[in-house]
Structure 1
Amino acid sequence: MTAPITQLKTIEQQLLWLSHWMIHHANHVRPKVDDIKVGGHQASSASMVSIMTALYFSALRPEDRVAVKPHASPVFHAIQYLMGNQTRDRLEKFRGLGGAQSYPSRTKDTNDVDFSTGSVGLGVAITSFASLVQDYIAAKPWGETLPKGRMVALVGDAELDEGNVYETLQEGWKNDLRNCWWIIDYNRQSLDGVVREGLFERIEKIFDAFGWDVVRVKHGVLQRAAFAKPGGDKLRNWIDTCPNQQYSALTFMGGAVWRKRLMDDLGDQGDVTALLERHSDSELAALMENLGGNCVETMAEAFASIDHDRPTCFLAYTIKGVVTLTCRQSAKASR
């Protein structure tokens, strides 16, 4: 049973504001003895807000445990603040002495950190082994009545470059891994560049080979509604074939540029033109940004759809640095 979407959207916006306020305060408000940049990964946090809102406020159970993507720590700390497990003082000291940590840490953070994830890739792997340990405990007479939790990893797509991840997949397959979710923030960008086209088609095959279910979460509710209208099939095909680098670049240019690019590529085909004309520039921008991982409603639906204990990989398409503000932006266009 998912939480009411209006409530999730409200929480999502509060988490976005809090996480970015925390980073801004650390870099531009808090006094510093030098001019060294504090940092904080705003863009990486923004692409995780919808995913983490749906996970923490709609999907998680008390027995579940989460390894948070290191670069999304501001969102995690914001969640803990809303839950009453974090203080404003520690948020104001983010990445400073006595403050909320750069990356979630069981030894240095005071809030509810399940797994330390400071080195990318390690938090991913630990969830798999934690699930295997849980099965070992459940096999003992003293542990058989304990509820089994899902071990969940929130993963940046570039984290899958780490070799230990694939060693972990093999170990999980050999030991009949259960109750493990990996949620990949597929924003297709990292500090090293843009993820190569077609890479994740191969990675999906790797997960499948090791017995995982792969749930591709590509389109949000606004996009799916548009696809159902005349001309929507052509729009969907354009979105699905647009190179990662171009899609990300167009996102930050606004609805007018989206409209020109779509008309240039698709031409005046009547139904496509009518579909685009139903949207103002701001509505069109919201529609094109509404990838599955940027849509809290879609993520909540994806999590709620899993009714088994097989290991599951959610490939959540996002745009780095972007959160779809609200589904209400395109309400008029969808009528």
Structure 2
Amino acid sequence: MKLIKRIILLGFFFILTACQGKPAEKNNSLSTKQNQVDKDKYRKLTPEEEKVIIFKGTEYPGTGIYNNFKEPGTYRCKRCNTPLFNSKDKFNSGCGWPSFDDAIGNNVKEIPDADGRRTEIVCNNCEAHLGHVFRGEQFTAKNTRHCVNSISLVFEQEKDVKSDTAVFASGCFWGTEYFLQQMKGVIDTKPGYIGGSVDNPTYKEVCTGRTGHAEAVRVIFNPDSVSYEELAKIYFETHDPTQIDGQGPDIGNQYRSEIFYFDENQEKIAKDLIEQLKNKGLDVATKVTKASTFWVAEEYHQDYYIKTGKQPYCHRYTKRF
């Protein structure tokens, strides 16, 4: 009799187990079908892209193609092509990933991260993982940093983009570039040499002080996004314009404060700002000179602080306007 009861109980156990197993198989089947639908509906991703976009991985810092990318245009979701970020909202945070202080409309959704601390951001259309959003860091006036994986994005070039050129010298060009390249609307920055008598000078030659060149930065910018006056103000606010032939510990004529203008409007703006500073009591030493040939500096001088992760030693921000 006991044997019969055991057989009956074992029978019930196997029946229950089988019943529980069927829904699980059905769910797995549905999940597989749903994944197939998603793959058919959206752009096909590579295994590397899936690691980030689907499985919420992270690119190594400094390796993404859009980290130091400065072209004007729109950043779209790589999975579904939804427009997510505009280049005018991109800035250099030094974190190693593309940073934006705003998103396009409601196309970026914020959700609590699985770690219980951070806020994840995903595409609001297809749920593709983008990265995380941080607030309160004071990088920009909007006080927001969307930290995004380059691999989650695809870039669309803006057509018929306006561009203008400015050249500023304010001591070591590493520090000059550091602040100017963070301005919205700046398309490109290049440290180099200007104002001298020798063609295509080397850094070593300029450092002798005998070529007459100043270390300077050429800025290509979109005037629809940032004005020449805004750039010039940042220039004056990130170095000491009263120091003659030097900046901080860097002493020499090549480290002089000088603005090289390309037209009458730039000349007028530069001189007007200098007059404003003089009215505030500053004995401004900055020269205003018509631009001559600009010679791009050696590669190891380009994006110096981005490459090294260091901070300027002789440039800092001081509110002047």
| Pairwise TM-score range, normalised by the shorter structure | under 0.3
* TM-score relative to the length of structure 1: 0.23
Q: More helix per residue: 1 or 2?
A: 1
Larger Rg: 1 or 2? 2
Q: Relative contact order, CA 8 A, sep 6+: which one is greater?
A: 1
